[in-house]
């Protein structure tokens, strides 16, 4: 008997659907639908209460209309009412409507939540399942708030039915995904792990999904799942194909559960415990062996299921990356699939091999399949398979096969699908640069790339080739010659004109000796392309022309003529006009020397990560590409001189190169901002030289009497201090806090200090966060040291100079002495050299306690009961320097009425008295 009998459906619904299907035109369909919507609306609004059956019928009609792509803006309330029906069918259709039509921020959620709450507590498994499904399908935050603690309880309760457990596990997974903060981890976690042992394989499957997700966020909480998962997997793998009854799918034992378990194990490193590890290795070997056995069925489902497990096992082997024999076996297995007649398997094999190529154990083994992969690039009918082949070629590329792979990719590019051309272009450009042994090959490759697929060559690619040519003088002559030849073609791509213009403008002189490429020929060649180009390219060419004026004085006249023409000087485009005017004036006024300086050859670009790589990463999502890059980097340390690991992602960096004194041919749209950039950056650089002029001292005074706190804070950076001093030595911990979300690059700091103080900055363990300064006081000093910090943020260099709060009083050792001693010594001092007296207006309140605290903070001991007048303050201490120790006596006589204090300092050494006195009274 079929589970759904066809006869007893809803007749009204069937009639409506038939009507729609009979509509001859879209208009007729819309008309029929609108009629039906009006009908339903009036029924819902009507006075007569609808019975459950009618409600169900109308809701079904609405669902059908919705499926056809029409908005449904009513009926929600009726659906919510159906939820509280005590009839299963009505309840079910209500839930169906809600999970299809209600989005997560509907106003009705509260009403729905009430109905769900009732059903969850109904103890009727069917109702509970409906409710759990609804939570999982809608998954809104409000639902999470209402049920995040209830669902785990249902999941681990002893008396919950299996089917409800399954639903509860997935429901919890969904809540954890949408609102992880609301799902409390608790004692239920360990019981969830034990669900892996459950009798019911459906429960185990659902629990495995749940644990996999939770374990990614809290691996420690679910560590115990590893041994259970291995045990379970082992039981499945070794079972006879009939053991698991219904969970055997086309002679494969529980393929979905096996896949899920293998995924779960990929959340963890290889198990450390020998026994578990051995058992897992055994499992993986069995899976690999089974794949080699003759199939038990000819059905495609059998091989699909078997291979689903196999591919997941291989993923785990690759993830562990620790068993060379397994890795090589996996690679061989995949190699067989590369020529399998099933397209799906070829696709998956190429995909898996991509990750395998990044393991050092199997990289060589993967490389042996290069011919097969190249062949599939040529013969495969399916573009998605070809794309995987390109990915794999990219992943398996190294120095030994780079030329072959790049050549193959280039030839494939000519016929490649338009959708993947740009990606191939980027990949070719990266490989060509990365594995270039001789850069003439690199230049040839890129020019070929532009020739074959110029439209798909993005800015980054041609920026990069120029960057490299400029930085490597061994290739400049060749590059000039090659672009010159390439430009001879009657129709060449605009990107080639850009590269040609830039390179000839810089290095045209290197080929000017040959009469076939004399300056005038070069100029005419470039200018013949001028009128076919867009504005940015023309702007670039104008810059190239003015560079020619410097390189070849003999063509100056010709070029001035061109610049002077109305089509340049009065060009409608502001940028072009401005360049023409300025370049013309420059060439007329400036002497040869000035011209030579202004139009000097571009200085080398700073080494940085290839911007192309950044682009590819952006395009592909950071996942695959960067993984390959990172893991392979180690192996290729020496192979690539040009790709540095600096995470900077901007382009050429015309804006920040040190191009102050050379009018570089600027690129199109940045042209206007170029000068601004240069100046805005050169300012702080200049300031660096005379650091003291801009030293920030704003918080300095706060530190005279204390040792910890925030020294500096801007929108970018916070600098905190912790310092301790003992005798003549001090140690200062400087904490740099990056307040932005992006990285600071090239972060460096240095300390400038006056003679009598030494400070050596020790960068702690390569971390940029904390820095320790060791300080020694050699003799007395007034000027505190300055901390200069330099780093790159965004595109510009930041310089910050902060005065470090190292003051003489930090080297005080408090001394206790009696009243008698104190006054005896006081009297021995001989003013004015040894005694300094100052009368000053109180800047702060003259509260006794605060003053006391300040005196202690200043470093001296506070001597109570020494002075006969109790309102006076007396302190004593010894200043330690490397060479001498200086005793210091202090008296402060506040006069509260006049709001002035008289402070007297007595010191053994007169040099110290002045510096200390000024410190004391400015800060007290």
Partner 1 sequence: MIKAILIFNNHGKPRLSKFYEHYTEDTEQQIIRETFHLVSKRDENVCNFLEGGMLIGGSDNKLIYRHYATLYFVFCVDSSESELGILDLIQVFVETLDKCFENVCELDLIFHVDKVHNILAEMVMGGMVLETNMNEIITQVDAQNKMEKSETFIFQSPRQDR
Residues 322-341 that bind partner 1 (CB under 8 A): none
CB of 216 to partner 1, least distance (A): 10
Give the three-state DSSP class for 767.
coil
Does the annotation place 425 within a ligand binding site?
no
Q: In angstroms, give the least distance from the CB of 351 to partner 1.
A: 8
Of the residues 30, 34, 51, 108, which one makes contact with partner 1 according to CB under 8 A: 51
529 is known to lie in a ligand binding site = no
Return d(Cα 394, Cα 418) in angstroms, integer.
Answer: 19
Between residue 611 and residue 640, which ones bind partner 1 under the rule CB under 8 A?
620-621, 623
Residue 59 known to bind ligand: yes
- Residues 554-593 interacting with partner 1 (rule: CB under 8 A): none
Q: Is the CB of 27 or the CB of 634 nearer to partner 1? A: 27
Q: Does 381 participate in binding partner 1 (rule CB under 8 A)?
A: yes
Question: In 531-604, which ranges are continuous DSSP H helix?
Answer: 535-551, 556-564, 566-569, 574-589, 592-598
Alpha-carbon span 582 to 597, nearest angstrom:
16
Three-class DSSP category at 873 = strand
Which residue, among 876, 900, 725, 716, has the nearest Cα to 800 in the 3D structure? 716
Could you tell me the smallest distance in angstroms from the CB atom of residue 277 to partner 1? 24
Q: How far is CA 153 from the centre of its chain?
A: 38
> Which residue number, 129 or 881, has a Cβ lying nearer to partner 1?
129
User: Between 205 and 657, whose beta carbon lies closer to partner 1?
Assistant: 205
d(C-alpha 657, C-alpha 667), whole Å = 13
Q: Which of 236, 276, 348, 466 lies at the binding interface for partner 1 (CB under 8 A)?
A: 348
Nearest to 532 by CA among 489, 564, 580, 569: 489
Under 8 Å between Cβ of 711 and 696: no
The annotation status of 217 as a binding-site residue, yes or no, is no
454 annotated among ligand-binding-site residues: no
CB 210 → partner 1: shortest distance, Å?
8
Residue in 113, 160, 209, 813 binding partner 1, rule: CB under 8 A: 209
Q: Which is nearer to partner 1, 6 or 516 (CB)?
A: 6
Instruction: Name which of residues 215 to 274 contact partner 1 (CB under 8 A).
Output: 246-247, 249, 255-256, 259, 263
CB-neighbour burial class of residue 10 (10 A; exposed 0-12, middle 13-18, buried 19+): middle
Closest CA to 859 of 922, 914, 814: 814
C-beta of 621: minimal distance to partner 1 in Å?
5
Measured between alpha carbons, how far is residue 754 from residues 32, 133, 695, 726 in Å? 91, 73, 14, 20
> According to the binding rule CB under 8 A, does residue 12 interact with partner 1?
yes
Q: How far apart are the C-alpha atoms of 262 and 307, rounded to whole Å?
A: 13
- CB 257 to partner 1: min, Å: 8
Which of 84, 239, 286, 304: binder of partner 1 (CB under 8 A)?
304
Q: Is 53 annotated as a binding residue?
A: yes
Q: Is 55 annotated as belonging to a binding site?
A: no
Rounded-to-integer distance, Cα 680 and Cα 796, Å: 9
**DSSP symbol at 603:** P
The SS3 call for residue 599 is strand
How many angstroms separate the CA atoms of 681 and 658, rounded?
10
The structure tokens 């070629």 sit at 393
Dmax over CA atoms of the chain, in Å, equals: 120
- Per-residue binding string, partner 1, 63-102, x by CB under 8 A, is xx-xxxx-x---------------xxx--xx--x---x--
> By CB under 8 A, is residue 47 in contact with partner 1?
no
Find the binding residues for partner 1 in span 138-167 (CB under 8 A): 139, 163, 166-167
Identity of the residue, 378 or 702, whose beta carbon is nearer to partner 1 in the bound complex: 378
Checking DSSP bridges between strand 717-726 and strand 786-793, what pairing results, if any?
A: unpaired
Phi and psi at 728, nearest 5°, equal -95, 5
Closest approach, Cβ 123 to partner 1, in A, equals 16
Q: Find the length of the chain.
A: 924
Q: Residues in contact with partner 1, total (CB under 8 A)?
A: 84
283 is in an annotated binding site: no
Cis status of the peptide bond prior to 832, with omega within 30 of 0: yes
| Contact between 301 and partner 1 per CB under 8 A | yes
Answer yes or no: is 60 a known binding residue. Answer: yes
Residue from 84, 239, 344, 372 touching partner 1 (CB under 8 A): that is: 344
Mask for 178-207, x = binds partner 1 (CB under 8 A): -----------------------xx--xx-
Q: Which of 190, 289, 292, 343 binds partner 1 (CB under 8 A)?
A: 343
Shortest Å distance, C-beta 761 to partner 1: 44
- Which span sits near partner 1 by CB under 8 A: 301-309, 362-370, 405-413, 424-432? 301-309
Q: How far is the CB of 568 from partner 1 (least distance, A)?
A: 43
Contact 560, 588 (CB under 8 A): yes
Spell out the residues 6+ positions from residue 178 whose beta carbon is closer than 8 angstroms to its own: 104, 139, 140, 141, 144
Name the binding residues: 11-12, 43, 53, 57-61
């Amino acid at each position: 008997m079929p589970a759904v009998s066809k006869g007893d459906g809803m007749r009204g619904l069937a009639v409506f659907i038939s009507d729609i299907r009979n509509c001859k035109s879209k208009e007729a369909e819309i008309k029929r639908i609108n009629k039906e919507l009006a009908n339903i609306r009036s029924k819902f609004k009507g006075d007569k209460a609808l019975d459950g059956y009618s409600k169900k019928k109308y809701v079904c009609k609405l669902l059908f209309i919705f499926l056809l792509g029409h908005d449904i803006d009513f009926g929600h309330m009726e659906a919510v009412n159906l939820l509280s029906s005590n009839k299963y069918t009505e309840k079910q259709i209500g839930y169906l409507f809600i999970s299809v039509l209600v989005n997560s921020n509907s106003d009705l959620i509260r009403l729905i939540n009430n109905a769900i709450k009732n059903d969850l507590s109904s103890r009727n498994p069917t109702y509970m399942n409906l409710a759990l499904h609804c939570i999982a399908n809608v998954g809104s935050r409000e639902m999470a708030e209402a049920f995040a603690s209830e669902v785990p309880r249902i999941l681990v309760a002893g008396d919950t039915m299996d089917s409800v457990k399954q639903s509860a596990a997935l429901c919890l997974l969904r809540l954890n995904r949408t609102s992880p903060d609301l799902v409390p981890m608790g004692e239920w976690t360990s019981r969830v792990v034990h669900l892996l042992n459950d009798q019911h394989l459906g429960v185990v499957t659902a629990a495995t999904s749940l644990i996999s997700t939770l374990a990614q966020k809290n691996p420690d909480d679910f560590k115990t799942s590893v041994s259970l998962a291995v045990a379970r997997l082992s039981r499945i793998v070794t079972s006879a194909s009939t053991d698991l009854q219904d969970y055997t799918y086309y002679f494969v034992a529980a393929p979905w559960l096996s896949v899920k378990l293998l995924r779960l194990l990929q959340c963890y490193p290889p198990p450390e415990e020998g026994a578990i590890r051995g058992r897992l290795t055994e499992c993986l070997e069995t899976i690999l062996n089974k794949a080699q056995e003759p199939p038990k069925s000819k059905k495609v489902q059998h091989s699909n299921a078997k291979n689903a497990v196999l591919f997941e096992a291989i993923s785990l082997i690759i993830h562990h990356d620790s068993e060379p024999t397994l890795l090589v076996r996996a690679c061989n297995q995949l190699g067989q699939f590369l020529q399998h007649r099933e397209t799906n398997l070829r696709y998956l094999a190429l995909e898996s091999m991509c990750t395998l190529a990044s393991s050092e154990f199997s990289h060589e083994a993967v490389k042996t399949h290069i011919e097969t992969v190249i062949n599939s690039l040529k013969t495969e009918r399916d573009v998605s398979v070809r794309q995987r082949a390109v990915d794999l070629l990219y992943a398996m590329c190294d120095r030994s096969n780079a030329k072959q792979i790049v050549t193959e990719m280039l030839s494939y590019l000519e016929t490649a699908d338009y959708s993947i051309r740009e990606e191939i272009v980027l990949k070719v450009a990266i490989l060509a640069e990365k594995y270039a042994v001789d850069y003439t090959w690199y230049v040839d490759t890129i020019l070929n790339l532009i020739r074959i697929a110029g439209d798909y060559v993005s800015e980054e690619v041609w920026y990069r080739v120029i960057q490299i040519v400029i930085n490597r003088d061994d290739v400049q002559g060749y590059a000039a010659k090659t672009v010159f030849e390439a430009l001879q073609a009657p129709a060449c791509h605009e990107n080639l004109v850009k590269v040609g213009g830039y390179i000839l403008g810089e290095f045209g002189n290197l080929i000017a000796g040959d009469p076939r490429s004399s300056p005038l020929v070069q100029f005419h060649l470039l200018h013949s392309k001028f009128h076919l180009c867009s504005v940015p390219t023309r702007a670039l060419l104008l810059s190239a022309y003015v560079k020619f004026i410097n390189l070849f004085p003999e063509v100056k006249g010709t070029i001035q003529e061109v610049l002077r023409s109305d089509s340049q000087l009065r060009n409608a485009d502001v940028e072009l006009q401005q360049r023409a005017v300025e370049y013309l004036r420059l060439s007329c006024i400036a002497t040869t020397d000035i011209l030579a300086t202004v139009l000097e050859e571009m200085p080398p670009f700073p080494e940085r990560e290839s911007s192309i790589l950044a682009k590819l990463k952006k395009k592909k999502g950071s996942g695959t590409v960067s993984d390959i890059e990172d893991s392979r980097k180690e192996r290729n340390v020496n192979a690539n001189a040009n790709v540095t690991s600096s995470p900077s992602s901007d382009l050429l960096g015309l804006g920040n190169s040190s191009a102050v004194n050379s009018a570089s041919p600027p690129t199109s749209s940045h042209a206007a901002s170029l000068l601004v950039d240069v100046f805005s950056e050169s300012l702080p650089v200049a300031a660096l030289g005379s650091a003291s002029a801009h030293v920030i001292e704003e918080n300095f005074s706060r530190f005279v009497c204390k040792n910890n706190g925030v020294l500096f804070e801007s929108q970018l950076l916070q600098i905190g201090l912790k310092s301790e001093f003992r005798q003549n030595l001090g140690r200062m911990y400087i904490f740099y806090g990056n307040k932005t979300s992006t990285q600071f690059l090239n972060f460096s700091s240095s300390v400038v200090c006056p003679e009598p103080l030494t400070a050596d900055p020790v960068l702690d363990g390569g971390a940029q966060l904390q820095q320790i300064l060791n300080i020694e006081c050699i003799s007395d000093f007034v000027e505190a040291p300055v901390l200069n910090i330099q780093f790159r943020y965004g595109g510009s260099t930041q310089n910050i100079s902060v005065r470090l709060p190292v003051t003489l009083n930090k080297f005080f050792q408090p001394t206790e002495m009696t009243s008698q001693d104190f006054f005896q010594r006081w009297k021995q001092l001989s003013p004015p050299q040894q005694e300094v007296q100052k009368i000053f207006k109180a800047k702060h309140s003259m509260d006794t306690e605060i003053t006391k605290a300040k005196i202690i903070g200043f470093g001296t001991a506070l001597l109570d009961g020494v002075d006969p007048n109790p309102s006076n303050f007396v302190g004593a201490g010894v200043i330690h320097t490397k060479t001498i120790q200086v005793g210091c006596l202090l008296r402060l006589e506040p006069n509260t009425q006049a709001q002035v204090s008289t402070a007297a300092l007595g010191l053994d050494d007169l040099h110290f008295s002045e510096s200390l006195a000024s410190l004391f009274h400015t800060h007290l």
